[in-house]
Amino acid sequence: MLKSQVLDKGFIEVVDSLGDDLTVVNSARVSFGKRKTKFDKSDERLVRYLAKYKHYSPFRHLQVQFHVKAPEFVMRQWYKHVVGIETTSNSSTKDHAWNEISGRYVPVVDFYNPSVWRKQSDDNKQASEGVLDDLQQKRMDDTYNEFMRQVRMTYERMIEAGMAKEQARIVLPLNQYTEVYWTASFQAIMNFIELRDEKTSQIEIQEYAKAMKELMFDVFPKTTEIWSKLYWEK
């Protein structure tokens, strides 16, 4: 099982995959009516050429299905990624899929608890920079813990009273953990990693991108290594 723990209660796990390192080169070489059964140096050169000059369609034949457990505010950012993904509602052959656990059926039990409270960046409206001082850390811990105590108590009382879960969940904050199955092409996954394993991204989603990157080296080692050297190791 390929699985990495992320944050305090989250994880990302490879459930299934389609293709291997040869898939990219065989998809490209079909133009010449050729097919190989063993990956060699010439294939490395071809994969490097395809990636360098942005011939991305052969990479879309590689797919991975992930099981992800992450805070809702992380998934709100994740949903935005569409490069290498067919998203039109009238298409019968999408190359990605989302399925998510439903708070209508399953009670929410896990919430993200940050290990440290960060300061707002002075020159970037959407970023953090550094951490609060020790006194403010303590105050925010106390404030957060009291807030979460009230949230849990209110939600549990609603459930115990027989209120529908679909309605009781309206009191839950964005730090609630959700779980999704995400299937996407190699290109879509690489785009996600490139944009989210980046210092201006929110730290929490950076952690998922870093974990995903390491898993991809296990799933498609040669292809990921070549892509990494071209785009990540600059």
Does any domain span residue 153? Answer: yes
| Shared domain check, 154 and 89 | no
- Whether 56 is in a domain gets the answer yes
Tens digit of pLDDT for each residue in 99-109? 999 999 999 99
What residues contact residue 173 under an 8 Å CB cut-off, 6+ apart? 111, 151
User: Which is the catalytic residue, given 45, 149, 157, 196?
Assistant: 196
Contacts of residue 2, Cβ cutoff 8 Å, sequence gap at least 6: 13, 14, 215, 218, 219
Tell me: do 145 and 31 sit in the same domain.
no
On the CB side of 91, how many CA atoms lie within 13 Å of its CA? 9
* Residue 112 in domain: no
Q: Are residues 227 and 159 in the same domain?
A: no
Three-state DSSP class for 66? strand
My answer on whether 183 and 81 are in the same domain is yes
Pair (43, 150) in one structural domain: no
Give the model's pLDDT for residue 93. Answer: 46
Task: Give the pLDDT score at 234.
Answer: 61
Q: Please tell me the pTM assigned to this model.
A: 0.91
**DSSP symbols for 154-168:** HHHHHHHTT--HHHH
Tell me what pLDDT residue 126 has. Answer: 82
| 98 and 21 within one domain | yes
43, with CB counted inside 10 A (0-12, 13-18, 19+), is: buried
Do both 53 and 38 map to the same domain?
A: yes
- For residue 74, tell me if it sits in a domain: yes
147 within a domain of the structure (yes/no) = yes
b/e map of 55-79 (b: 16 or more CB within 10 Å)? ebebbbbbbbebbbbbbbbbbebbe
Identify whether the C-beta of residue 208 lies closer than 8 Å to the C-beta of residue 10: yes
Determine whether 157 is an active site residue: no
The alpha carbon of residue 9 and the mean position of all alpha carbons in its chain are separated, in whole angstroms, by: 15
Give the chain's residues under pLDDT 50.
Answer: 87, 89, 91-93
Tell me the residue range of the domain where 224 lies: 2-107+176-231
Q: Are residues 95 and 184 in the same domain?
A: yes
- Assess whether 66 and 150 both reside in one domain: no
Q: What is the pLDDT of residues 157-202, one digit of tens each?
A: 999 999 999 999 999 999 999 999 999 999 999 999 999 999 889 9
Q: What is the CA radius of gyration of the chain?
A: 21
Distances in whole angstroms, Cα of residue 207 to Cα of each of 6, 76, 113, 210: 7, 15, 15, 5
Q: Are residues 46 and 76 in the same domain?
A: yes
Q: Which residues on neighbouring strands pair with residue 190, listed in sequence order?
A: none
Give the pLDDT of residue 95.
Answer: 54
Least Cα distance to 45 among 222, 233, 232 occurs for 222
Q: Identify whether residues 180 and 134 lie together within a single domain.
A: no
CA angle 7, 218, 186 (to 5 degrees): 85
CATH of the domain at 50: 3.30.1360.170
Stated as kind and residue range, the H or E segment containing 210 is: helix 203-219
For the chain, what is the domain count? Answer: 2
- 180 and 155 in a single domain? The answer is no
Instruction: Classify residue 113: in a domain, yes or no.
Output: no
Distance of alpha carbon 29 from the chain centroid: 31
